[in-house]
Amino acid sequence: MLLVNTLIFIIFQECFLSGLPKLILVQELVNPANFHYTGNSGTMETTAEVVEFLDRLFDSVKRKCRWSCKRKTKKSCKPNSGHVEFWTESIKKIKSIMFEDSGSEVALQAGQARLVRVPTIEGWITTLESFVRLTNLLFQKYRVDYYYPRNVN
């Protein structure tokens, strides 16, 4: 639940600081109906799946595992660790996450809710695309054996 509360805080902080209209109520954020996943697979249908996905995503760029880890993406990034594949798939999922805006002036004037993407989502896309490019550069051009994404980000 801490991750969900953190995500809620980040999204509302981002909306407040950027001057965006209030997108959704806190209660609505954890409702899976408000995660409009428009991709072909149904992997983002439940709140639990969304939270698990975000947990794995945070771990892949921030977590350094010192002991035995169940997830490969918690360990150092290596050519065969699965980080690049996970990040590439995550970019596709994140690009499809939209939030329902039903309280802004634009939505009220139109008389209907609209789907919007918050700046935090755009930031994650940029971060992951940068990690994919950096990883490919480190492994292919400079022949680095491994690195910890946490030390970069």
Query: For residue 42, what are its two tokens?
Result: 């149904």
Higher pLDDT, 112 or 46: 112
pTM of the model: 0.66
On average, the pLDDT of the chain sits at 74
Q: How far apart are CA 48 and CA 57, in angstroms?
A: 14
- pLDDT band, very low/low/confident/very high, at 26 (cuts 50, 70, 90): very low
**Per-residue pLDDT at 119 exceeds 50:** yes
Residue 141's pLDDT is 95
Task: Supply φ then ψ for residue 147, to 5 degrees.
Answer: -155, 165
- Kind plus residue range of the DSSP H or E element containing 114: strand 114-116
Higher pLDDT, 45 or 124: 124
Sign of CA dihedral 23, 27, 30, 31: negative
DSSP 65-90: --S--SSGGGS-B-TTSSHHHHHHHH
Write the DSSP symbol of residue 147.
Answer: B
pLDDT digits (tens, 9 = 90+) for 56-109: 999 899 876 655 566 666 788 999 999 999 999 999 999 888 888 888 899 899
Q: How far apart are CA 33 and CA 5, in angstroms?
A: 18
Residue 115's pLDDT is 87
- pLDDT band, very low/low/confident/very high, at 146 (cuts 50, 70, 90): very high
